[in-house]
Amino acid sequence: MQAYTARAHTNIALLKYWGKANPQEIIPTTTSISLTLDEFYTDTTVQFDTALTEDQVILNGETLTGKSSEKVSKFLDIVRSMANISTRAYVKSTNHVPTAAGLASSASAFAALAGAASRAAGLELSLEELSRLARRGSGSASRSIYGGFVEWVRGVDDQTSFATPLVEDVDWDIQLLTVVVNDQPKKIDSRGGMQHTMATSPFYQAWVDNTNALTVPMENAIANHDFTQLGQMAEANALQMHATNTTACPPFNYLTDASWTVIQMAAQLRQEGIDVYATMDAGPNVKLISKAADTDQIQARLRQLMPDVTTVVATPGPGLQIVEGEQI
């Protein structure tokens, strides 16, 4: 069968997904809103081949085994059942996330896999169907089907839970400056973390209610290019998400002292008139929602506080691309 290659870019949530109303189908408790990033992406080639007795998955040049390869095979099983085939596949994936960036790549990985695997299996899915399929691999991947600002409407079941684009071409000054405080793999993965928090934090429902109440205000801030409103809501939403982790039983915490140094630096810079806000996911790195014009000043302050710290600037990026063959 013909090989197909897809490229998907990662995204960072401004309003987060943190918990599943239905863990099997990955139906979230919150509607989330994200920004797709240009600089970080995954390229994945898939070819189904009757000569194979099992799926063969190569990530960044290395053959995957154990849990990681099982996760890919389970996802391919969904594609196989949709296409009504049982053929095993060859999957080759390359993450173009600067190694030092320490960003999670599951969003771009499963969006690219959904695109390449579905086409290689002979399916012609709509973007909505691709978003629903990507969601089954990793919730945040549902949003990486589109570029720019994207909203994943939580829905109630597989049919109704998918992402839609809010603004695909972002023509105003907004960027994410990632501060790499630690590039080691995270100890508690997002799947386990969100499940534990949901089951044990007394503040979890309050976070869900607050997040869902922010959907329309965040849509408005994006439509009005209101950087300050957007940043304030995103930072509050991230901090509240992390507060549900520190109030879980037993508690856990992705943020380190270094993360807090950066979060407090953002607050200090705001007092000095620079509009900059922090957001953090299932790890200690802090992404600063900022304007290109302020990059030098932010980096200068960071160097004073943390002389050896690495930063990566990311700007709004495009949606999924799929091509025939092994090259994109």
**Residue 72 in the binding site for ligand PMV (CB under 6 A):** no
Residue 147 contacts residue 154 (beta carbons within 8 Å) = no
**Residue 31 in the binding site for ligand PMV (CB under 6 A):** no
Distance in angstroms (rounded) separating the CA atoms of residues 21 and 126: 25
Residues 175-204, one symbol each (x = binds ligand PMV by CB under 6 A, - = not), give: ---------------xx-------------
Applying CB under 6 A, among 138, 144, 197, 244 the residue interacting with ligand PMV is 138
**Residue 118 in the binding site for ligand PMV (CB under 6 A):** no
Applying CB under 6 A, among 4, 17, 40, 48 the residue interacting with ligand PMV is 17
Window of 16-24, 37-45, 157-165, 214-222 that interacts with ligand PMV by CB under 6 A: 16-24
Q: Nearest to residue 44, comparing CAs of 98, 3, 8, 5?
A: 5
**Residue 281 in the binding site for ligand PMV (CB under 6 A):** yes
Applying CB under 6 A, among 106, 131, 175, 201 the residue interacting with ligand PMV is 106
- Measured in degrees and rounded to the nearest 5, phi and psi for residue 176 equal -120, 120
HSE-up (13 A, CA, CB side) for residue 182: 16
Window of 104-112, 215-223, 269-277, 297-305 that interacts with ligand PMV by CB under 6 A: 104-112
HSE-up (13 A, CA, CB side) for residue 17: 33
Strand duo 310-314 + 175-180: pairing: antiparallel
Q: What is the DSSP string of 15-61?
A: E----EEETTTTEESS-EEEEEEEEEEEEEEEEE-TT-SS-EEEETT
- Between 120 and 177, CB nearer to ligand PMV: 177
Site for ligand PMV in 140-169 (CB under 6 A): 140
Residue 57 contacts residue 93 (beta carbons within 8 Å) = yes
**Residue 278 in the binding site for ligand PMV (CB under 6 A):** no
Residues near ligand PMV (CB under 6 A) are: 13, 16-18, 32, 104, 106-107, 138-140, 190-191, 281-282
